[in-house]
Amino acid sequence: MNAPNTEPELFNWQFAADPYPSYAWLREHSPVHRTTLPSGVEAWLVTRYTDAKQALADQRLSKNPVHHSEDARGKSKTGIPGERSANLMTHLLNIDPPDHTRLRRLVSKAFTPRRVAEFAPRVQELTDHLIDQFAQKGSADLIHEFAFPLPIYAICDLLGVPSEDQDDFRDWAGMMIRHQGGPRGGVARSVKKMRVYLAELIHRKRQALPNTPAPGEDLISGLIRASDHGEHLSENEAAAMCFVLLFAGFETVINLIGNGTYALLRNPKQRAKLQRSIESGEQELLDSGVEELLRYDGPVELATWRYATEPLEIGDRLISSGDPVLVVLAAANRDPARFAQPDVLDLNRQDNQHLGYGHGIHYCIGAPLARLEGRTALATLLRRLPDLKLAADPADLRWRGGLIMRGLRNLPVEFTVV
């Protein structure tokens, strides 16, 4: 990988296809870089690992958009698509302690190691069911037929969305991740439909909630129960919480599976090594391999927005109060000052404290479930479709628009029918 000789143009489609040379230039020449985003909002990009880790844990960088110095028009461009108009702003991605601490404590019970382990058979069942649907065709689009529906159905199960309603969520979620690719206004309409549905579902579950929780109680019921026992969770907070778990919980996993499979297909020696390990029933390489895929080309390119609450320094740059700061996880995770041979995919990599799911109090709460889904999906694909190969020229693949996430629009593959 060769970095450009002059300051690169950021956030166009060529950059989206491979942002890593541009990030290498920024790390070397302008590691804390002020830029104008495609939305017109000016922000700082933090690209070195040490600076990124510091910024992610710095409590002077608030998650609350109220601290943004831009006018309301600028603020409206800095969140999850459609959340502001749908009244879904009060969630873990954009609040600070003490509210963040309170809400995170409520939802963290759904992501304990024990709960995630109990959910593993259901994830395996969903994975096998989805592969069954295309295994006899000899070809598939792994994004639309596999990586996209798997986390949608998994997070719906976790929340307690009835099975007969889950295809609606699949439609709404599909519109959200298409961003510019759907009909005008489609994102906002889908988010509003999801908001209305969640409010109604919360109301129905509250009305029918038993006095004693059943084993493995769904997350929405658990949130209602906690709220009714003094945690003071408003209905809007509950709906916003479910919304962000759906949004963050499915798109990160789509990209982990899609980007991870693509990276393995582009690195056949590493893929063959992982395949042999899976066939022999070993777990160690799969575990370290998923961490390396998260580092090498992870699902989250930039951490969600932060805003300086007072003047502060990052690296050698002074950040003014109210300035937006975007930590570039993808750049930090390929910093040669932290990772040996950072542009090489090494599934055996051991010293791998990557920032793929963040750092500090906003570390991704759903990371244990995402890792489970990623490990299950990749291991099952390689075991059941051992000669899986890319069915397109890499130059023809396109990456989805959007600032925060990094993921393929499609991933056509071929394999022998077994």
pLDDT tens readout for residues 45-54: 999 999 999 9
399 beta partners: 408
Residue 99 reports pLDDT greater than 60 = yes
Tell me what pLDDT residue 349 has: 97
pLDDT at 92: 53
Burial class (CB in 10 A: 0-12, 13-18, 19+), 396: exposed
**Residues contacting 224, CB < 8 A, separation 6+:** 202, 205, 206, 209, 238
Average pLDDT, stretch 203-218? 83
In the numeric block, the tokens 């396109």 are attached to 398
Place of tokens 């991605």: 93
| pLDDT mean over 313-324 | 94
Q: Which residues pair with 325 in a beta bridge?
A: 44, 306
Q: Which residue has the higher pLDDT, 150 or 102?
A: 150
Res. 413 pLDDT band, cuts 50 70 90: very high
Predicted pLDDT at 315:
95
Select the more confidently predicted residue: 208 or 257: 257
Half-sphere exposure of 33 (CA within 13 A, CB side): 23
Evaluate if residue 183 carries a pLDDT over 80. Answer: no
pLDDT of residue 246: 76
Which pLDDT value is given to residue 276? 97
Whether 417 shows a pLDDT value over 80: the answer reads yes
pLDDT score recorded for residue 96: 64
233 — pLDDT class (breaks 50, 70, 90): low
Question: Is it the case that residue 416 has pLDDT exceeding 50?
Answer: yes
Mean pLDDT value of segment 75-79: 49
Of 94, 83, 78, nearest in space to 40 by CA: 78
Round the average pLDDT of the chain to a whole number and report it. Answer: 86
Residue 93 is predicted with a pLDDT of 61
Q: 377 or 184: which carries more pLDDT confidence? A: 377
What would the mean pLDDT of 343-359 be, rounded to a whole number? Answer: 96
Half-sphere exposure of 3 (CA within 13 A, CB side): 16
pLDDT at 352 > cutoff 50: yes
pLDDT, residue 224, reads 80
Mean pLDDT of 155-159: 88
Residue 346 has pLDDT above 90, yes or no: yes
> Is it the case that residue 82 has pLDDT exceeding 50?
no
| ∠ Cα 268 285 356 (to 5°) | 85
Mean per-residue pLDDT, 391-407: 90
pLDDT at position 76 is 44
Looking at residue 81, its pLDDT comes to 46
Q: Which of 58-67, 198-207, 224-233, 327-336 has the lowest mean pLDDT?
A: 224-233
3-state secondary structure of 414: strand
φ, ψ dihedrals at 301, nearest 5°: -80, -45
Residue 95: its pLDDT value, please?
64
- Whether the pLDDT of residue 418 is over 90: the answer is no
Q: What's the pLDDT score for residue 85? A: 46
Q: What gap in Å lies between CA 236 and CA 107, rounded to an integer?
A: 15
Q: Return the minimum-mean-pLDDT range out of 75-79, 196-200, 251-255, 348-352.
A: 75-79
Q: Which residues of 110-138 are buried (b: 16+ CB within 10 A; e: fewer)?
A: bbeeebbeebeeebeebbeebbeebeeee
Q: At what angle do helices 367-384 and 235-266 cross, to 10 degrees?
A: 40
Do 350 and 380 touch, CB atoms closer than 8 A?
A: no
Instruction: Tally Cβ neighbours within 10 Å of residue 336.
Output: 13
- pLDDT over 60 at 182, yes or no: no
Smallest CA-to-CA distance from 106 within 208, 240, 199, 197 is with 240
The residue with greater pLDDT, 402 or 288, is 288
Strand order in the sheet with 412-414: 139-141, 412-414, 389-390
Chain position carrying tokens 């899986």? 388
Beta strand 42-46 with 324-327 is: parallel
